[in-house]
């Protein structure tokens, strides 16, 4: 195995980001004779929205696996010369935003481990595990990590345990079948031994994972948009609880656990790209439908314009405008080049706040009664600054409509939300939803505020509620809560008082 990387720049990104952060995107390709590194690059480019902190590609050619990974965006890590040096028949790739494990380079994926018999494994993981401490204890007991090693992520632990299960009598496939039933939580995996591509999905199917067909091979990716960009035909989802292996013998599949669907509803609301499909439902169509339902639940009389908070609020705003008959307009311009920054902002620059990302079109909104549609409210800081900016630009009234229910609970399955006490929906201790909404409305400075209901949001996905995880809205944690996590302990206390 050869592992190469470039020196990392310390990430000094401002930590006051308001939006929920996805954890990861995974990609895998088996295509002998094709430029698998470039296919993986394009796949990761399509999945960049799922993680902007780091990225990596591992390529295998039967003899060895070469891993190239670093901190930063996909386009900044890889270039033509690097991709041309990554040659082989199989590749796995990963884009990352950390929620488990720190921001050290050692936690950038794909992870790399070697079995006692010399079998190399490179692995990418999307999701969070709730029994990480149990798995870590097992890894310590096996001598794979030292008890005092603190910076071992759940993904690294998985990689080590998988490689340790491979020996002269146990194949990678069999080792995975033995390990995965003991792994609890959310996980979509792509991994390779340099010869075969493997993919696996947790029994609940929390995060999406799809299979696509190339002219000369196969692709696995977190979302269908990644299949589109590399010219693969969508075949099907990787089923919850399924392990797939792909090589020259074809596709081998085995269910390591029974399916108990609990897909993340927030994928439809915000996480997935609008041009992806999840379980046969267009993400964009779901978001437009949420906007229609939001307009029926919380209409605004005599409004002049419906404007979205770009880009994630666009589809729901379209739906709201269509249902209400109010004119749709773009009243905010987004700076397309604002991404993660390595410059620590001064207090003066920090006061510019949302203007670094959004700026109002004064001639559009001046004197208008606005319906402003956004995807979610987490802490409320962004909405407060946005409303003030719109009023300064001349808006007569600002009525905020949110295309998801109030976020009241943190996610432990792959989204980086705030702790319960930092969520604006918990600012009012009352259980009365009207009082909560009134408190939030006053805090952000809106003339009125409305959230789509859980039932209407779920209906827009066209999936049964019993097959969707709504934990961040409802506090119903279908996969359980992790141990040894202070936020999870706080949630247990709060749930125990209800």
| Catalytic residue numbers, as ranges | 24
Q: Give the pair of three-digit tokens for residue 240.
A: 């919850």
Phi-psi region of 302 (alpha: psi -120 to 50; beta: other; left: phi over 0): left
Task: Note the Cα 353 to chain centre separation in Å.
Answer: 24
Residue that is written with structure tokens 């693969």 in the block: 232
φ and ψ at 71, to 5 degrees? -75, 145
The answer for residues whose C-beta is within 8 angstroms of residue 62's C-beta and 6 or more apart is: 88, 89, 194, 195
Q: In a 3-state reduction of DSSP, which class is residue 473?
A: helix
Helix, strand, coil percentages for the chain (3-state, nearest 5): 35, 25, 45
DSSP assignments along 300-335, one per residue: -TT--EEEE-TTTTHHHHHHHHHHH-PEE---EEE-
432 marked ligand binding residue = no
Task: Output the DSSP codes for 135-151.
Answer: HHHHHHHTTSS-TT---
264 is in an annotated binding site: yes
Contact 77, 55 (CB under 8 A): yes
CA of 121: how far to CAs of 80, 159, 197, 350, 360, in Å? 25, 7, 10, 43, 50
| 374 marked among binding-site residues | yes
How far CA 108 is from CA of 162, 183, 226, in Å, comes to: 18, 21, 20
Evaluate whether 415 touches 472 at the Cβ level (below 8 Å): yes
Is 312 marked as binding a ligand?
yes
Residue 44, helix vs strand vs coil: helix
How far is the C-alpha of 69 from the C-alpha of 106, rounded, in Å?
Answer: 10
Four-residue CA torsion sign, 225, 231, 235, 241: negative
45 close to 75: Cβ distance less than 8 angstroms: yes
Distance between CA 102 and CA 83 in Å, rounded?
A: 27
CA distance 81 to 413: 36
Read off the DSSP letter of residue 377.
-
Dihedral pair phi/psi, residue 262, rounded to 5° = -155, 60
**Burial of residue 422, with CB atoms counted within 10 A of its CB: 0-12 exposed, 13-18 middle, 19 or more buried:** middle
Q: Do the Cβ atoms of 256 and 198 come closer than 8 Å?
A: no
Query: CA-to-CA distance for 24 and 200, rounded, in angstroms?
Result: 15
Residues annotated in a binding site: 264, 312, 374-375, 411, 469, 472
Sequence ranges of the binding site for [4Fe-4S] cluster: 264, 411, 469, 472
Q: Point out the annotated binding site for Mg(2+).
A: 312, 374-375
């Amino acid at each position: 195995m050869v592992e190469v990387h470039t020196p990392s720049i310390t990430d000094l990104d401002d930590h006051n980001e308001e939006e929920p952060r996805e954890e990861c995107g995974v990609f895998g390709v088996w295509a002998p004779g094709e430029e698998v590194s470039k296919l993986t690059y394009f796949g990761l480019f399509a999945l960049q929205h799922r993680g902007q902190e780091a990225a990596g590609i591992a390529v295998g050619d039967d003899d060895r696996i070469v891993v190239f990974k670093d901190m930063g965006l996909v386009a900044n890590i890889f270039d033509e010369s690097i991709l041309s040096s990554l040659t082989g028949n199989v590749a796995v790739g990963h884009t990352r935003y950390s929620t488990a494990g720190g921001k050290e380079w050692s936690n950038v994926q794909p992870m790399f481990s070697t079995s006692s018999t010399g079998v190399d494994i490179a692995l990418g993981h999307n999701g969070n595990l709730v029994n990480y401490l149990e798995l870590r204890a097992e890894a310590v007991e096996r001598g794979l990590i030292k008890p005092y090693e603190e910076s071992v992520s759940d993904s690294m632990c998985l990689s080590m345990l998988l490689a340790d299960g491979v020996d002269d009598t146990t194949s990678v496939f069999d080792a995975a079948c033995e390990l995965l039933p003991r792994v609890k939580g959310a996980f979509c995996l792509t991994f390779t031994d340099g010869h075969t591509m493997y993919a696996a999905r947790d029994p609940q199917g929390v995060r999406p994972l799809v299979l696509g067909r190339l002219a000369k091979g196969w692709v696995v990716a977190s979302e269908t948009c990644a299949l589109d960009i590399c010219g693969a035909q969508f075949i099907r989802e990787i089923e919850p609880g399924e392990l797939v292996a792909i090589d020259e013998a074809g596709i081998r599949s085995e269910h390591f656990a029974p399916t108990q669907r609990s897909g993340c509803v927030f994928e439809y609301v915000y996480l997935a790209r609008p041009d992806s499909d999840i379980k046969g439902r267009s993400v964009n169509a779901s978001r437009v439908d949420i906007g229609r339902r939001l307009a029926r639940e919380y209409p605004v009389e005599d409004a002049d314009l419906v404007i979205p908070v770009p880009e994630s609020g666009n589809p729901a705003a379209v739906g709201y405008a269509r249902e209400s008959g109010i004119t749709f307009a773009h009243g905010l311009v987004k700076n397309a080049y604002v991404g993660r920054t390595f410059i620590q902002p001064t207090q003066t620059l920090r006061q510019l706040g949302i203007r670094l990302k959004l700026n109002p079109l004064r001639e559009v909104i001046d004197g208008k009664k606005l319906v402003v549609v956004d995807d979610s409210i987490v802490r409320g800081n962004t909405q407060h600054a946005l409303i003030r900016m719109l009023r300064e630009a001349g808006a007569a009234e600002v009525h905020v409509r949110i295309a998801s229910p109030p976020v009241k609970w943190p996610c432990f399955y792959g989204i980086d939300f705030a702790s319960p006490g930092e969520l604006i929906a918990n600012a009012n201790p009352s259980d009365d939803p009207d009082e909560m909404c009134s408190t939030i409305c006053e805090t952000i400075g809106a003339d009125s505020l409305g959230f789509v209901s859980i039932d209407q949001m779920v209906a827009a996905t066209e999936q049964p509620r019993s097959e969707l995880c709504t934990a961040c809205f409802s506090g119903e944690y279908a996969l359980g809560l992790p141990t040894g996590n202070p936020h999870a302990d706080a949630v247990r206390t709060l749930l125990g008082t209800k």
